Amino acid sequence: MGISKLKTYLSPYTRRLKLFWIAEKYFYQKKRETVLIVDSSSFIFDLLLHFNHDLQAVENFLKDLKVICGEHYISLIFVREGINPSRKATELIRRIEQSVTTRNNFFESPHTVKQANIQICILHIRTAYHLIVKAGFQLIRAYSEADPFIIANSIKRKAYAIISMDTDFYLSSALNVIFPYQFITSILLACSKKKPLNQITFDGICCEECKRKINVSSTFIPYFSCLCGNDFTKSFNQKLLKKLGLCFNYNTVIPTVIDFIQSFTGDENDLHHHILNLLDNDEEKEQFENGIYQINRLARYIPEKPVIIPGIDLYNTEHSYSTTLGAWSIASKHSPLCYPNYLSPLKATRKIRKIIYSIFKPNSTITEYYDDGEKKQHTVHSKKLDNGDIYWWLKSIGFDDSIFDFVNLSMNNELPWWKTVFAIVMKYISTNCPNFKHYNFLLYEWYVICRDYPNLKRFSNIKIPGEDHRDPVHLFNYFHSVCFDFNEVLIDYVNISPDYLIPLTVPCIYQFVNEFIIQSNVDSKIDLLISEDNFFAKLCQLVGFNHETE
């Protein structure tokens, strides 16, 4: 995210910010809290990474974070993405291509889960947002992209810092940028009480010092970013530098660009036209213009108008709306880490998304960008439908009345919603995903792990030696992908409380892989559980449980 190598280049200028000391001093002088604006996508990524995908640990951390910030006059405001504008389509499609490459490389030969680039699963991301709200933090949704909205709120609320890993913020009008992973580490140290709070430091960058180090005029900062390669120009900046007569070296690109701009004799308009004349096609020119526009938006306060989408409250941040927002902007989905030679989970759930389109953008043609093993671009023609209750939704998706026994029990608070949602997802997989390998293991293991919440075994790595974890990684990600689209229906459009997300999504990839490696007699374990657990017995009847042939 942002400019490659900029953090490394500025590492000698990393500051150790005494946040607790600063916040206390500021409160006694100004009687105001110290505000931090959190780039939620960056923060959640590092949060899940720090705790090895353990949602129980994430939940406990967020509770402790809320307490310690409240006690020491620190206010955290989390910001999540809104609608991606059309100008970002090229970058989003490029990211899809990257996810396809990652997926194919992982599954073409034996790999371990540690070699899976610690992919953060989408259900965990959604659950993390819910945990942020549940812990009592303010979470706001940007109107469009998060970055300019973060800057606007940073200026408006006089924030001391932004918490983000995105290096684009180093060139912005923010005061400081704190690194999220180090922020989490410092908070854990503070909660441990092993060190006085006024001695605990938070690693970050002072934006003004960053710009002084780069030492180019403020009007040239956007060109510095684009030439170094930001989210809009990474696909062609190497070629562009060569056309400018510069030698490209990944490790020295930043000083090379600085020297070029400092020696350029014209003004920013001259450089702008010079670069446009060197670009090969209209797409590159458009992306270059978008990159300049984006960096300029980070340099000053630009208020944005709220976005209105008929039928939904965009700013209810407990909701996801990923499919609906895609219909109104760019419907893109990264490839989950699933075997490419099996039916793609994104293809398996396309009927769910079509119903959403038919309600919230009826009589339209929507282009979805995702890789299903055959093509990466899919056209969906939506009809016109009126929203209904959960029974209408399930019938529209293809369920018969047998699922309603579970729904009725949950409606009457006689059965936890996570069990009903688990039954819905497993029934959908058994019906719509042919040749599903290791279905019985997924059925048994996911249920047992969820049932045992919050008394779970803790796993941070793979304890059993193994060379090939492709099968359990595939299973884990497949469940996440199918379940994600159902969550959008159940939480966003049926308005079931999202609290069920926590027990349903607690399985950790490391625990799941460990259990897969040591699995034995799964069908016998299922038979035993059927005799002991009335719900599980009914679930197995619903999905048509059969013993698998070894």
The mean-pLDDT minimum among 278-292, 326-340, 452-466 falls in 452-466
Backbone angles phi, psi at 25, to 5 degrees: -65, -40
Which candidate, 202, 206, 212, 186, places its Cα nearest to that of 65?
A: 186
State what percent of residues in the chain have pLDDT above 70: 97
206-262 pLDDT, tens digit each: 999 999 999 999 999 999 999 999 888 988 989 999 999 888 877 889 999 999 999
Q: How open is the CA angle 224-228-229, to the nearest 5 degrees? A: 120
Alpha helix stretches (DSSP H) within 434-498: 439-451, 470-487
DSSP 335: P
Residue 550: pLDDT above 60? no
Output the pTM of the full model. 0.93
41-86 pLDDT, tens digit each: 999 999 999 998 889 999 999 999 999 999 999 999 999 999 988 8
Residue 205: pLDDT above 90? yes
Mean pLDDT of 499-520: 90
pLDDT at 258 (0 to 100) = 93
Rounded distance between C-alpha atoms, residue 180 and residue 186, angstroms: 10
pLDDT at 285 (0 to 100) = 92
Residue 425: pLDDT above 90? yes
Q: Which residues contact 462 (CB under 8 A, 6 or more apart)?
A: 112, 113, 114, 469, 510, 513, 514, 517
pLDDT at 62 (0 to 100) = 98
Rounded distance between C-alpha atoms, residue 428 and residue 391, angstroms: 15
- Virtual torsion, Cα 39, 148, 323, 543, nearest 10 deg: 0
Mean pLDDT of 394-406: 96
pLDDT at 463 (0 to 100) = 66
Q: Which residues of 362-379 are buried (b: 16+ CB within 10 A; e: fewer)?
A: eeeebebbbbbbeebebe
Residue for token digits 């929507």?
366
- Residue 357's pLDDT band (boundaries 50, 70, 90)? very high
Neighbours of 219 (CB within 10 A): 13
What is the DSSP annotation of 264-327?
--S-HHHHHHHHHHH--SHHHHHHHHHHHHHHHHTSS----PPP--TTS-TT-TT---HHHHHH
pLDDT at 183 (0 to 100) = 97
Mean pLDDT of 319-334: 91
Residue 549: pLDDT above 70? no
- Residue 308's pLDDT band (boundaries 50, 70, 90)? confident
For the chain, domain boundaries: 10-82+142-212, 218-297, 322-543
More confident residue, 302 or 534: 534
> Do β-strands 365-369 and 331-332 pair in parallel, antiparallel, or remain unpaired?
parallel
Contact 328, 308 (CB under 8 A): no
- Residue 106's pLDDT band (boundaries 50, 70, 90)? very high
Q: For residue 224, give the amino acid letter.
A: F
- Residue 464's pLDDT band (boundaries 50, 70, 90)? low
- Residue 117's pLDDT band (boundaries 50, 70, 90)? low
Rounded distance between C-alpha atoms, residue 212 and residue 31, angstroms: 32
pLDDT at 52 (0 to 100) = 86
Residue for token digits 């308005």?
495
Residue 98: pLDDT above 90? no
- Residue 299's pLDDT band (boundaries 50, 70, 90)? confident
Q: How many residues does the chain have?
A: 550
Residue 300: pLDDT above 60? yes
Residue 121: pLDDT above 90? no
Mean pLDDT of 160-170: 95
- Virtual torsion, Cα 240, 244, 245, 249, nearest 10 deg: -40
Backbone angles phi, psi at 239, to 5 degrees: -65, -40
pLDDT at 443 (0 to 100) = 97
Mean pLDDT of 523-531: 95
Cis amide prior to 454 (ω within 30 degrees): yes
Number of helical (H) and strand (E) elements in the chain, helices listed first: 26, 10
Q: Which residues contact 258 (CB under 8 A, 6 or more apart)?
A: 214, 215, 216, 224
- Residue 4's pLDDT band (boundaries 50, 70, 90)? confident
Mean pLDDT of 10-33: 92
Residue 454: pLDDT above 90? no
Which candidate, 413, 388, 400, places its Cα nearest to that of 494?
A: 388
DSSP 189: H
